[in-house]
Amino acid sequence: MTKAAILLLSLGLSACTMGPDYKAPKIDLFDKWFSASPTQVSQEPIHTEWWNIFDDALLSKYIEQSAVHNKDVQIALANIKRARAVRGETRGTLMPSLGSNVEATRSKSSSANSSFNSGDIRNVYDAGFDASWELDIFGGTRREIEASDARLGIAKASYNNVMLSTFSDVARNYYEARGVQKRIAITQQNIDLLKQTYDLINARLNVGEATQFDADRARGEYEATQAQLPNLNAALEVNIFSLSTLLGLPPEALLDEMKTVQPLPYAPEIVPVGLRSDILRRRPDVKIAERELAASSADIGAEIANLFPKFSLTGDIGTQARNFSDLFMASAGMWSFGPSMRWSVFDGGSIRARIDIEKAENQAALAAYEKTILEALADAEKALTRYGREIETRNQLEKSLQTRRSAVTLAQELLDAGEVDYLAVLDAQRELTTSEDSLVVSEIQTMIKLIALYTALGGGWESHTQAYADLSQTEQ
């Protein structure tokens, strides 16, 4: 081995890396929640499988199905596989490249050439191996590997983010459908009640105990309430169609299964939300932004390394003979070995411009990371506020409903005693119908805002990262 080769090899083994060594920025956060009172939240860790607190076996089944069959989840999993392959390809450039060749040629020289042996026919046989190794002396390749590792982290965090949003969408559409079913049931009960009232008033009209105005008013209330059903049924089907698609199924797949009415769960007033700083660990979008910052930092080093020369070791060993039978004789052997250097001495400043580009992108990535953290905190605080206020609204509507029911009972008693007319009863029933529907709407919104709160806190994806391991096994 030549002295130059020994020097190059020693440089390769003691190579350095260019550019900044990445360290995740330290973010100081207050652990106190500002938008919720102590009676609304608990600093106990959140439920990572939060859908199980609703004790709804069908919802849990749908969540599990979506974790496997949702198309966005499958796309995200394929992106992890691609990122792993890119990382493997980049890592491979650190190792020597080995090749082999076998070649046989037959040629005839020109007879018009006056040189010796002109017009001869020749056979040449070659066989051998060649190798090349670009030494990563200035760490450009290692920075590229560092960047590909970070981008694999982005793919994994993106998969978690898709999981989180998918589970949220499944639960939201599921409970919107259950809420609409409850609204349909209440509306149908009120239709039946108003029909009974109309029939009663119409019967009294026939015997002169009620006016036509009373009968028309009762019929109008009955028909107006009936008109609510078509849109409610349409809303139910839309939710079921969306739910089916989230599970990777045709839109109509769940129509029969979802016909069985299930009650809306009663959303808790106190929710375990953990510490506010836990968001940095749980939120996949924060992880994505952090890994993008890490990749951007590594890209700077990879570009800086291009300012320096690139050294390689190349060599080949083989045999060459004019007769195939002589190809494997000792005298047919040949070899070559030597170092090489490539260095872009002048490029019009394009390398330094690319370095400036990467530095600017790194500054943008840092700002994006900090912005993502601020938005994550704001999402959680806003979700807490909305959930807490919806709980207050629901509780007030429950009190209002009790009052409306008492009013209907009292109006009926007064009607029987002859102290009020039918209009008073109809007004009381209409107000009761409005209160019942408003309460159900608030119950639906309470569930939706609770789901949004768990989404903002970043919980739900942790129990399904087994797909990483499964993917690794399939690649082996």
Question: Looking at the DSSP assignment, which residues form a beta bridge with residue 142?
Answer: none
Q: Tell me the per-residue pLDDT of 96-124, one tens digit each, with 9 for 90 and over.
A: 877 777 777 777 666 666 555 555 677 77
Instruction: Read off the pLDDT of each residue in 199-218 and give the average, rounded to a whole number.
Output: 85
φ, ψ at 417 (rounded to 5°): -85, -5
- pTM, entire model: 0.83
352's tokens? 């330094």
Question: Which range scores top for mean pLDDT: 229-243, 252-266, 293-307?
Answer: 229-243
Which pLDDT score is estimated for 244?
Answer: 97
> Is there a contact between 297 and 19 (Cβ–Cβ < 8 Å)?
yes
Tell me the average pLDDT across 299-315: 85
Instruction: Using alpha carbons, list the distances in angstroms from residue 313 to 2, 139, 371.
Output: 11, 16, 47
With DSSP H G I counted as helix, E B as strand and the rest as coil, what are the percentages for the chain, rounded to 5?
65, 10, 25
pLDDT at 93 over 70: yes
Nearest by Cα to 127 from 99, 163, 91, 159: 99
Cross-strand partners of 101: 128
- Within 10 A of 5 (CB to CB), how many other CB atoms are there? 14
**Is the pLDDT at 43 greater than 90, yes or no?**
no
Q: Over 90: is that where the pLDDT of 240 sits? A: yes
Phi first, then psi: give them for residue 119, nearest 5 degrees: 80, 0
Run of H or E including 124: strand 121-135
17-93+140-308+351-475: CATH topology is Outer membrane efflux proteins (OEP) (1.20.1600)
Identity of the residue numbered 392? E
State the average pLDDT over residues 21-42: 74
pLDDT for 18 equals: 80
Q: Where are the domains of the chain?
A: 17-93+140-308+351-475
pLDDT at residue 5, as a whole number: 46
CA distances from 347 to 54, 301, 341, 344, 396 (A): 64, 19, 17, 7, 73
By the 8 A CB rule, do 271 and 451 touch? no
Q: In angstroms, rounded to a whole number, what is the distance separating the alpha carbons of residues 412 and 421?
A: 10
- How many angstroms separate the CA atoms of 464 and 73, rounded? 11
pLDDT at 268 over 90: no
Length of the chain: 476
Q: Check: CB of residue 275 under 8 Å from CB of residue 47.
A: no
- Cα 54 from Cα 51, distance rounded (Å): 6
Give tens-digit pLDDT for 133-175: 878 788 888 888 999 999 999 999 999 999 999 999 999 999 9
**Between the CA atoms of 471, 473, 475 and 476, what dihedral angle is there, to the nearest 10 degrees?**
170
Cβ neighbours, 10 Å, residue 463:
14
Q: What average pLDDT does range 218-242 have in this prediction?
A: 93
How many CB atoms lie under 10 A from the CB of residue 181? 22
